[in-house]
Structure 1
Amino acid sequence: MGFNDWNAFGCDVSEQLIKQTADYFVSSGLKDAGYQYVNIDDCWMTHERDADGRLVPDAVKFPDGIKGTADYVHGLGLKLGIYEDAGTATCAGYPGSLGHETTDAQTFADWGVDYLKYDNCNNKSDGTRQDFVNRYTAMRDALQATGRPIVYSLCEWGQQQPWEWASDIGNSWRTTGDISDNWASMLSILKSNVSLAQYAGPGHWNDPDMLEVGNGGMTDTEYRSHFSLWSMMDAPLLIGTDLRKASPQTMSILLNKDVIALDQDSLGKQAAVLSSDGGRWVITKELANGDRAVALFNETNQPQHISTTAAALGLPAVKGAYQVRDLWQHADYQSRGTLAATVPAHGTILLRVSTAKGALADLPLLDTATTGTENRLQPGRSTTVTTTATNLGLVPSLAVDVQLTAPDGWTVQAQSATRRAVLSTGRTLSSTWRITAPADAEVGSYPLSGTVTSWDPRHNRTVTVPLTGQLNVAVPPPAGTSYLSDLKWTSVSNGWPPVELDTSNGESKAGDGHPITLGGTAYTKGLGVHAPSAVEYYLGGHCSTVTATVGVDDEKSGKGSVDFQIQADGKQVADSGVLTNAMGGQPITADVTGSQTVQLIVTDGGDGNDSDHADWADAAITCS
């Protein structure tokens, strides 16, 4: 646990930044929460070694040198990390450690370094696994020879499946390419890393890369999911934001000791996936005291009801109730065995479940849901949704009252009973609501919110459980053939946002793309995306055909490989197969007759998403 400067600062690292971050670890409570390492990434050194072949800290950035910085950090009871590379040069072009392992390891030890991130750029590799093993083993042996305990983090991007061989070499190993500060990147890395639970354990960990929490590319809901899932996977928790400017919301995520306890649990058992149907994930983790943690994670763009049981988590049957703690709400409940919640889009409900008898007795546990919210309605039209409140606890819920609200300008009318004097154990109160969008509603997603309240006489209090929902306003394409870049999508995710209209993806800033060019042919219309990507359009059952020319844009000459797929109502109707930059543009056509939605999906082709600038050139749809 600690901090690394790269995600927020890149090459703008300095002694001042490291010292100020260390100070903030102490003053903010991060140190007390378990964060120890303050790590320096690339660009800390000069471009030349000294006469003795030793690395030289940049005197402008680090006037006290790395040793002086380490002494300061150690004086606060913290530890210092540093960066180097298993190649001839680092990723930013500074001297690498290939062939200098003994000198560099001793230099780090002399400076008082406690952690080494060892990257993989400019590696001069012959591409074999043995070369990777040899290069990373050479530094391991050099570090061990110094006699100083230094945590060794292998950063070879998962290229040679390090989980299969690195446990005897390092303390952690990157399983993927670099994370970026967006939902698509975080989700892609989760899916790669979560399946590797069998390889992790005390002293040897899968590393899905550093935290992006607080950098601004995701919502707080998405950042809570990021932090929850990394903790469930026993990932190194290395903060990657400017803590000097961190918001209270960011700090509340990073300082959640209930969640940190899962990551730091002494059993060291990475979480495993119980189910992930339809983007509704149930992920469980065994803990040292016999408890189970469970993440109810919603990958989708709509609120989802997700449910499991204590038995499915591997807990034994109990007489009475299971103790349940919601780790983000910091609330304690009891359950007869069912664990369920309506999870917001991109959200995570994180629970810790125990068979031990808790201090709280017979607390009611209400499970709430809002169904029918996946419906799309046009401006001025109405739809019907149903809310449910189910008593999962051991005692009746009293004076149950359901309230549902929509944004200003929308109309919400109850069509059935919304109150129940007594809701017995195992019973459900279902309420139907008619919701009307304003005539001038713009295309997009709109939140539904509400509460279910009940009276808890044992503790003389009102218990409030939130209701979550979402409605989508959508308009189908006009009759005839339209370019998709001229239409409004209903949802979008992209590996390097944003999706560009009528240009290539470019890089990470809006409007930095170039004319779409595939195999030397330029196109004036289309979508420029970056794998992994998914762009969804509402069709309303009125359309028949999607066509495009697809490929990796010429701006990534000789690089990139992707797979273009088209899904209609969640079913795949076209697949380009893996395409490389050298293959130029390839035609793709899909029959979407009668479908409500179409998704344009791009995957990374199975080899990571480096340089995967993918074009949907001349993407068009024909509708009646």
Structure 2
Amino acid sequence: MKFLYVISFCFLLSLCVHRDLKGDSNSRGTDIIDEWGRLHPDVKRWPSSNGWKGFKNVADKVHGMGLKFGIHLMAGISTQAYDANTPILDTKTGKAFQQSGKVWHAKDIGIPGRACKWMDKGFMALNVTTDAGKAFLRSLYHLYTSWGLDFVKLDCVFGEDLDVNEITYVSQLLKEFNPSIVFSLSPGVRATPNMARQINGLVNTYRVAGDDWDKWPDVAAHFDIARDFAAAKLIGAQGLNGNSWPDLDMLPFGWLTDPGQDIYIAFFNLSNQARTIYAKLDALAKVLPGRKLKGLQGREVWSLKSVTIGDALSARVVPHGCALFVFDY
């Protein structure tokens, strides 16, 4: 398995980089956009993006390490582009998109009344039924795929923000630009099996729950969701590129009690899907005060694979399986 390096949407925002700016990641007017209203990385955080180069240099570096590269995007159009009423790029002509003698702009396609539920100041839906809306998405993904993406995680487009039109068109664009790109949706607050049936042939993975942190209410919320999707026979249902998986999010142990952790790992083993477990070892050192975990030699019991603890340790676990690492210290 080649592991994935994914850049979160927040690292595109100045507010996540320049701490002297007031506001939070949901504040409007802090995105880095080009003349066509497309988001770009902040050059203070990503110096190699200077000159509108985007993540091309980062992707090349990641690929050189044998890893896959992906980005986390927000659906629709940014409020900043809407406020600036930027023109829409027509990738066929290299000029502003025109139709019926009219030059189309962001305010012609943005829908302020359908703001992203969890980032309502920053993003809104766009009208994908118009040719101008499609032109905007085409220009967006033409740019992003040129950076060398292997993975796209699209947010604010499923569950309570469901937009089948945008999911459908983005899926078509990714197949056209690079069919090997893995297409994922997130989050899935209030997602239903009926919603999943509409999109599971268009995406590779789709979140069916909200963000999952190390709090028992977050854990408990997963039980009914998993039951409903299992009853609908959607766990591992046939879909895009052979399989389209409902995603129950991560396995955060952190501050869960020991019984809570036991219940959670048992629950995920019942979900009949592969998992990648990742541990941040400098945090694990808090469990063993005074002992250094980094640099220890050991083995994975069942595969007998020799491993050395670095900054992090991860394992891909098959359905109903587990990985056990033993280290001497």
Structures share fold, TM-score greater than 0.5: yes
CA contact (8 A) 2:76 2:125 kept: yes
Name the TM-score, length of structure 2 as normaliser: 0.57
Matched residue of 1:153: which SS?
strand
- Pick from 200, 210, 214 the counterpart of residue 235 of structure 2: 200
Matched residue of 2:318: which SS?
helix
1:229 aligns with 2:273: no
Name the TM-score, length of structure 1 as normaliser: 0.32
Partner residue, 1:614: none
Structure 1 segments unaligned to the other structure (5+ residues): 1-33, 264-292, 295-326, 331-624
Partner residue, 1:82: 71
Aligned-pair distance for 1:88?
A: 3.1
1:164 aligns with 2:197: yes
Change (3 A) 1:239 1:262: closer
CA distance in 2, matches of 1:83, 1:163: 20
1:177 aligns with 2:210: yes
Aligned partner letter, 2:42? D
- Per-residue CA deviations over 1:26-58 (Å, capped at 9, x if unaligned) read xxxxxxxx4611212221224142124432111
Aligned-pair distance for 1:196?
A: 1.6
CA distance in 2, matches of 1:208, 1:172: 10
Aligned-pair distance for 1:199?
A: 0.9
Aligned-pair distance for 1:110?
A: 0.8
Aligned-pair distance for 1:235?
A: 5.0
CA contact (8 A) 2:212 2:250 kept: yes
1:262 aligns with 2:318: yes
Partner residue, 2:153: 117
Change (3 A) 1:104 1:225: farther
CA contact (8 A) 2:275 2:317 kept: no
Aligned partner letter, 1:229? F
1:58 aligns with 2:42: yes
CA distance in 2, matches of 1:118, 1:171: 12
CA distance in 2, matches of 1:87, 1:179: 24
Change (3 A) 1:73 1:257: farther
Aligned partner letter, 2:168? T
CA contact (8 A) 2:137 2:170 kept: yes
Change (3 A) 1:102 1:329: closer
Q: Which of the two has higher C-alpha Rg?
A: 1
CA contact (8 A) 2:207 2:249 kept: yes
CA distance in 1, matches of 2:267, 2:2: 18
Change (3 A) 1:76 1:147: same
Change (3 A) 1:35 1:147: closer
Aligned-pair distance for 1:120?
A: 1.0
CA contact (8 A) 2:274 2:317 kept: no
Matched residue of 1:43: which SS?
helix
CA distance in 2, matches of 1:73, 1:257: 30
CA contact (8 A) 2:185 2:206 kept: yes
CA distance in 1, matches of 2:65, 2:152: 20
- Pick from 130, 145, 160 the counterpart of residue 176 of structure 2: 145
Partner residue, 2:104: none
The 5 A counterparts of 1:215-226 are 216-219=254-257, 222-223=260-261, 225-226=263-264
The 5 A counterparts of 1:238-257 are 243=280, 245-247=282-284
1:68 aligns with 2:81: no
- Pick from 94, 101, 105 the counterpart of residue 141 of structure 2: 105
Change (3 A) 1:39 1:190: farther
Determine which structure has greater relative contact order: mean sequence separation of CA pairs < 8 Å that are 6+ residues apart, divided by chain length: 2
Aligned-pair distance for 1:329?
A: 7.0
When structure 1 is superposed on structure 2, of 201-210 and 225-234 the one drifting more is 225-234
Change (3 A) 1:68 1:329: closer
Percent of residue pairs bearing the same amino acid type: 24
Matched residue of 1:165: which SS?
helix
The 5 A counterparts of 1:147-546 are 147-161=178-192, 162-197=195-230, 198-201=233-236, 202-213=242-253, 216-219=254-257, 222-223=260-261, 225-235=263-273, 237=275, 243=280, 245-247=282-284, 260-263=316-319, 293=320, 327=322
Aligned-pair distance for 1:137?
A: 0.9
CA distance in 1, matches of 2:164, 2:179: 22
- Per-residue CA deviations over 1:1-33 (Å, capped at 9, x if unaligned) read xxxxxxxxxxxxxxxxxxxxxxxxxxxxxxxxx
Q: How many residues align?
A: 227
CA distance in 2, matches of 1:260, 1:237: 6
CA contact (8 A) 1:212 1:240 kept: no
Aligned-pair distance for 1:240?
A: 7.5
Partner residue, 1:333: none
Aligned partner letter, 2:9? D
- Larger fraction in helix: 2
Partner residue, 1:388: none
CA contact (8 A) 2:251 2:277 kept: yes
CA contact (8 A) 1:182 1:217 kept: yes
Matched residue of 1:193: which SS?
helix
Aligned-pair distance for 1:176?
A: 1.8
CA distance in 1, matches of 2:301, 2:197: 32
CA distance in 2, matches of 1:193, 1:114: 28
- Per-residue CA deviations over 1:468-494 (Å, capped at 9, x if unaligned) read xxxxxxxxxxxxxxxxxxxxxxxxxxx
CA contact (8 A) 1:88 1:96 kept: yes
Matched residue of 1:84: which SS?
strand
Aligned-pair distance for 1:111?
A: 0.8
Change (3 A) 1:329 1:107: closer
Structure 2 segments unaligned to the other structure (5+ residues): 14-30, 50-54, 79-115, 127-132, 237-241, 288-292, 295-299, 304-314
1:39 aligns with 2:6: yes
CA distance in 2, matches of 1:157, 1:199: 15
